[in-house]
Amino acid sequence: MQTQAPKGQYRVIGLDPVDTLTWPSGPLWKDCETFDEARDLADRNGDSYAWLYVYDDAGELLYEGGCHAQFERIQKLNQEAPGENKTQR
């Protein structure tokens, strides 16, 4: 997947923990004219995709969003839970 946007544009890529590359619609992939437009698109889709990225025309990552932070918190809680259960018995 090419992260580099066309010259003078910004590319938004949205991915999900489920393999969106095999979905008929595929991952979110849109080129925007301005950084603000790209960031707004990423933010509006934050509940639909776990990871959202905005890249510039050099392929540099400028912005990261999505609901992945919720997954990381859940994973951390799940890792802590077994230890807590053992001490409560």
Mean pLDDT by 10 residues, the chain (89 residues): 93 78 70 97 86 95 81 72 51
How many independent structural domains does the chain possess? Answer: 1
- Domain annotation covers residue 23: yes
Q: Is 63 helix (H, G, I), strand (E, B) or coil?
A: strand
- Give the number of other Cβ atoms within 10 Å of residue 40's Cβ: 14
Say what the pLDDT of residue 23 is: 58
- Domain annotation covers residue 72: yes
- Domain annotation covers residue 1: no
Distance between start and end Cα atoms, the chain: 49
- Domain annotation covers residue 2: no
**pTM score above 0.75:** no
CA atoms within 13 A on the CB side of 53: 15
Domain that holds residue 27: 10-88
- Domain annotation covers residue 3: no
- Domain annotation covers residue 69: yes
- Domain annotation covers residue 4: no
DSSP 33: S
